[in-house]
């Protein structure tokens, strides 16, 4: 397991988070079985048209997710598929969009019966690696050459024992953004972002004193808390193995992990108790909380590259600044940024045409398609062949520079989905709602880690082997 995720120019030299995210960038896994069953049923329907014509085509069923990260992503994919089918008339690709609540459970059910998609999208790293270790994913590097995968960015988020299991499409960074007008109104330098936690708190205090909500977010769905974990628990660590070995219960690693979590949640609680976050944070979803910034109702926020660019169009690019989140922790990883491929595309182990699947995915990375991705959605393609000269907007250039400078880690990628949904997300909600203390948040983590180990013994064994492998 890699301790850091390389991105941009650094990655092209050493093999290059987002948001994102999980993003994106974060995870909610509850879904009704009726919805999942419906998806499975739709995906299983035969291709319409004459039986003779259909039998001559290579049919690919593609369960796709991306719209929540990148608005316009589904339309871009539909256009790519139409073009590919024109160029390859013997191929028929059926796109089945997924939602935040179906992306994981629908594939979990499909894997049990080995039916459903030939191609699938999952969130990066463990939501992909764990199914791979369970035999549900075929390594894409079995079918795509190193010459091609060498251009893909952040492949080490989905690499195990030298095999690349999934393909990235785009990258998402998670910057701190601030409203320069509101900073100036509070007597702060509008062109300087807080770089340390102490400076951040001082800026929050000044903004609040001038009747300005310092920080705007939403945590009804638990995503703000999950982002605080991804950004600030990471800053407490010297390596990702301190997290994964803590979850695996290696030696005294769990005790150390719980200790650093308490420190992180204590700092998080300070923001809430001191009134530096909007008072309705617990009643707004992440997306709803984000609207406070472009409405001028909050001076700062954590967000994605795409949102930052969109907000700049609303309030004026000259009024928006973007920087790395302020440094709280003293761990080695505190110096890293927060970029991820967020989601990835892979071939299922039961697909009857893995070569055809791989050929299509490989084609998506052709420069013309990556250029179209950026032009049509504003997303930064996860490919080092993408011409940076095409990024002409100054704020977009600044965001891309953040994304491509140095190393990045999105910590949420490295915890099992069950722990993310049952510990990470509700623990943050305890803090933002004021219904629990940092100690109680940590106790929830301890309880849920123990439950996961008991309830998922096979996955626990696979995770432990992965965590100790150094892949």
β-sheet bridge partners, residue 348: 137
CATH number of residue 244's parent domain:
3.40.190.10
Would you say residue 55 lies in a domain? yes
236 and 258: one domain?
A: yes
190 and 95: one domain?
A: no
204 and 100: one domain?
A: no
CB contact set of 145 (below 8 Å; sequence gap of 6+): none
Would you say residue 92 lies in a domain? yes
Would you say residue 398 lies in a domain? no
193 and 299: one domain?
A: yes
288 and 326: one domain?
A: yes
The last residue of a domain, from among 355, 389, 423? 389
Would you say residue 197 lies in a domain? yes
Instruction: Tell me the residue range of the domain where 59 lies.
Output: 28-171+343-389
Q: What is the distance between the alpha carbons of residues 121 and 166, in angstroms, rounded to a whole number? A: 9
The answer, yes or no, to whether residue 10 has pLDDT greater than 90, is no
pTM value surpassing 0.75: yes
200 and 286: one domain?
A: yes
Provide the pLDDT confidence category of residue 374 given band limits of 50, 70 and 90: very high
The tally of domains found in the chain comes to 2
157 phi/psi in degrees, rounded to 5: -70, -20
The answer, yes or no, to whether residue 44 has pLDDT greater than 60, is no
Would you say residue 452 lies in a domain? no
Query: For residue 4, what is the DSSP state?
Result: S
| Residue 348, both tokens | 């299922």
148 and 270: one domain?
A: no
Which of 169-183, 208-222, 404-418 is predicted least confidently?
Answer: 404-418
Tell me whether strands 176-179 and 300-302 are parallel, antiparallel or unpaired.
antiparallel
pLDDT in tens, 224-245: 999 999 999 999 999 999 999 9
pLDDT value of position 359? 98
The answer, yes or no, to whether residue 78 has pLDDT greater than 90, is yes
122 and 198: one domain?
A: no
Which of 23-27, 350-354, 429-433 is predicted least confidently?
Answer: 23-27
Would you say residue 333 lies in a domain? yes
The last residue of a domain, from among 304, 337, 370? 337
The closest of 240, 220, 242, 254 to 408, measured between CA atoms, is 240
246 and 284: one domain?
A: yes
113 and 260: one domain?
A: no
pLDDT value of position 406? 85
260 and 287: one domain?
A: yes
Would you say residue 14 lies in a domain? no
The answer, yes or no, to whether residue 3 has pLDDT greater than 60, is no
pLDDT value of position 470? 63
The answer, yes or no, to whether residue 5 has pLDDT greater than 80, is no
pLDDT value of position 471? 53
pLDDT in tens, 258-317: 999 999 999 999 999 999 999 999 999 999 999 999 999 999 999 999 899 999 999 999
Query: For residue 46, what is the DSSP state?
Result: P
48 and 131: one domain?
A: yes
Q: Are 452 and 416 in contact (CB under 8 A)?
A: yes
Residue range 390-407: mean pLDDT, rounded = 91
Q: What is the distance between the alpha carbons of residues 43 and 21, in angstroms, rounded to a whole number? A: 26
- C-alpha distances in angstroms, 133 versus 138, 141, 264, 453, 464? 10, 15, 31, 16, 11
| Residue 98, both tokens | 């997924």
The H or E element spanning position 224 is helix 223-228
Would you say residue 214 lies in a domain? yes
């Amino acid at each position: 397991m890699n301790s850091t995720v390389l991105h941009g120019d650094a990655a092209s030299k050493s093999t290059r988070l987002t948001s994102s995210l999980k993003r994106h960038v974060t995870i909610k896994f509850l879904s009704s079985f009726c919805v999942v069953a419906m998806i499975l049923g739709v995906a299983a329907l035969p291709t319409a048209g004459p039986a003779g014509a259909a039998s001559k085509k290579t049919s690919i069923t593609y369960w796709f997710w991306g719209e929540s990260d990148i608005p316009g992503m589904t339309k871009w994919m539909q256009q790519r598929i139409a073009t590919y089918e024109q160029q390859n008339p013997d191929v028929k690709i059926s796109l089945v969009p997924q939602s935040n609540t179906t992306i994981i459970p629908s594939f979990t059910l499909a894997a049990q019966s080995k039916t459903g998609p030939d191609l699938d999208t999952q969130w990066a790293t463990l939501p992909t690696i764990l199914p791979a270790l369970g035999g549900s994913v075929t390594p894409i590097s079995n079918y795509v050459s190193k010459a091609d995968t060498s251009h893909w960015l952040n492949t080490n988020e989905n690499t195990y024992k030298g095999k690349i299991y999934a393909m990235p499409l785009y990258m998402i960074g998670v910057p701190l953004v601030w409203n320069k007008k509101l900073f100036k109104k509070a007597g702060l330098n509008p062109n300087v972002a807080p770089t340390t936690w102490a400076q951040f708190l001082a800026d929050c205090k000044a903004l609040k004193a001038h009747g300005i909500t310092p920080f705007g977010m939403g945590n009804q769905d638990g995503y703000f808390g999950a982002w605080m974990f991804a950004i600030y628990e990471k800053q407490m660590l010297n390596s990702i193995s301190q997290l994964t070995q803590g979850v695996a219960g290696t030696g005294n690693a769990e005790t150390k992990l719980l200790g650093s979590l308490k420190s992180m949640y204590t700092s998080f609680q300070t923001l809430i108790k001191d009134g530096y976050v909007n008072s309705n944070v617990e009643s707004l979803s992440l997306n709803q909380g984000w609207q406070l910034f472009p409405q001028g109702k909050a001076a700062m926020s954590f967000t994605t590259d795409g949102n930052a660019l969109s907000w700049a169009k609303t309030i004026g690019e000259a009024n928006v600044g973007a920087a790395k989140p302020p440094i709280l922790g003293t761990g080695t990883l505190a110096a890293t940024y927060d970029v991820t491929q967020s989601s990835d595309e892979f071939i299922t182990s039961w697909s009857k045409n893995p070569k055809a699947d791989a050929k299509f995915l490989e084609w998506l990375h052709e420069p013309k398609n990556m250029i179209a991705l950026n032009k049509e959605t504003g997303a930064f393609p996860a490919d080092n062949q993408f011409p940076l000269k095409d990024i002409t907007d100054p704020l977009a250039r600044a965001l891309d520079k953040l994304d491509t400078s140095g190393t990045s880690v999105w910590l949420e990628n490295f915890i099992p989905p069950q722990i993310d949904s049952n510990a990470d997300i509700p623990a943050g909600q305890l803090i933002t709602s004021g219904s629990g203390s940092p100690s109680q948040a940590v106790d929830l983590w301890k309880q849920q880690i123990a439950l996961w180990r008991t309830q998922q013994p096979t996955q626990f064994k696979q995770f432990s082997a992965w965590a100790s492998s150094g892949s």
